[in-house]
Structure 1
Amino acid sequence: MTLAISPAARAAMAEWLTHLRALDGRADLTVKAYGADVAGYLSFLAHHRGGTEGLAALAQVPLSDLRAWMAHERGRGVAPRSLARSLSAVKGFTGWLAEREGVDATAVLSARAPRFQKKLPRPLSIDAAADVLDSVGDDARSPWVAARDTAVVTLLYGCGLRISEALGLTGADHPLAQVLRIRGKGGKERLVPVLPAARAAVAEYARLCPHDLTATAPLFRGTRGGPLNPRLIAAAMERTRNRLGLPATATPHALRHSFATHLLGAGGDLRAIQELLGHASLSTTQTYTAVDAARLMEVYARTHPRA
């Protein structure tokens, strides 16, 4: 379908995306995805309604037209989860536009997203996580690269960091303090305690690293001295899980899931875990209660004498 978006709508969309990036602090990839979602929606409306319309009309799209767009997307094979994300983007743009134009966008804003089965995180067991940390550097080409990979995965599991957050550390963060100030999604800051094992792993990496870890440069480096590419950590995890016989779900991000699940299983407070992970909503963190419940049911079914 050829895009047929009016110049005014394009300008409004660009202004909204700038707002998301600058004021809401959304990540560049998120802004790009939202822009593609809204552009597709506006293009559909232009074809569906036989031409471009004013901005006020775009903010007051009737529910029938919105449903026609959703049906069109499903007909293209868009999965319910992806369509729910697209609808979230459309709602965000429409709500912003309606406020700017002073009109009512209730029809769009009240639309329900398609239902889909949420995928539960797939954490590693405590023993498997320990095995990964102990052996992730075994296939490295040099001792300093082995120490680097070990330090990164130790931060993911020991502190619950996202890979982007771990690789966002700079030389100024070394040596690691007992508490790190992490800037996560949306530019939100949080304080994360650092285990002695994580501090020791990073210190060993810094001792062996052949590159000058200046205060303003990335802490974790590639072999040529540039910023460490996250794909290299993913590759190290892939080699490790194959060697240990772990499932394909044993990824770098699974270590963050494991951090949360193991804390919860040990009696950790859900609100505290939310703060440690940097989740904006408690409902996101509550996913881990389902994971823990699923694990308990597996143990029950496997071990109960009458099961």
Structure 2
Amino acid sequence: MAHEDIPQPEMNFSTEGNQVGKVLMPRIGYTILAIIMAIFCTASLVLNISVIMVTIKYRQLRHPINYSLVNLAIADLGVTLLGSLLTVETNAVGYFNLGRVGCVIEGFAVAFFGIAALCTIAVIAVDRVFVVCKPMGTLTFTPRQALAGIAVSWIWSLIWNTPPLFGWGSYQLEGVQTSCAPDWYSTDPVNMSYIISFFSFCFAIPFLTILVSYGYLLWTLRQVAKLGVAEGGTTSKAEVQVSRMVLVMVMAFLICWLPYAAFAMMVVANPGMYIDPVIATVPMYLTKTSTVYNPIIYIFMNKQFQECIIPFLCCGRNPWAIDKSLPETTNTSSSNSRKGQVSPA
């Protein structure tokens, strides 16, 4: 029974490109997908809940620059609870068994929380430009500004994910028919206009914001490094660290989101083209794995969160502590001094 093929049951919300009753993937394939998603769900729950809990526990983390990191964890939790966990269940049974209402709920939830997380990543990039590069001079980054950026990410996501609920676009089964998303397949002009708008405003704009922000950040650090060398100092180490961090962030963004966006645009640009459902499923699941990559990259590369979350996860111990031999007074003073600092990471 482990290798038994499962024919897709007939559903009245199939998209144009779906062939009702056709076996899309062997039973073992669905089982593997369920196991993979269960692993990622578990990791996402542990990491993102830990981020929220340590922020509540440690006062020094409640700095405006960290608000967006916590918001990212909340958005990722939404994707995990209302999207990835449901995908584990539907893959476990081998087909989408939640009905039309379940499809709309899952499709909307994943898109809503996913785009909110994507916009939050763009907000984080802008936040770091303001904190590190100070384009507005000595203007202080305030809680109001941080909360405004968070509000924009949620409102922007809500604006572009509610139209399918009212007829402009729709949420339909995708890939191997065990999850739902905006309908990329329909050739209806109204639906295609929504997909193009969705791609432009929910992927292209955040992506360009990230590129411009981190490009400006790296350029500023380069200028500071040149000035430091001219004055006999050196900032090359800090520049290399931040450059590496920025490269990881942009690469992770591209790996998680670019395949999905490219797939959607290919389908829209060539409505008659056929893409194997198994191949089409890969980019869809890559976006869901971002709920694990996000806390690792954006939070574990933040020294403030590192010093709090690692002991939290390791029962009070930090096996990666830099120097455990420092006197207690030195540790205390350095800890106090860090409370007022915000690293660009």
TM-score where L is the length of structure 1: 0.25
TM-score where L is the length of structure 2: 0.23
RCO higher in structure (CA 8 A, sep ≥6):
2
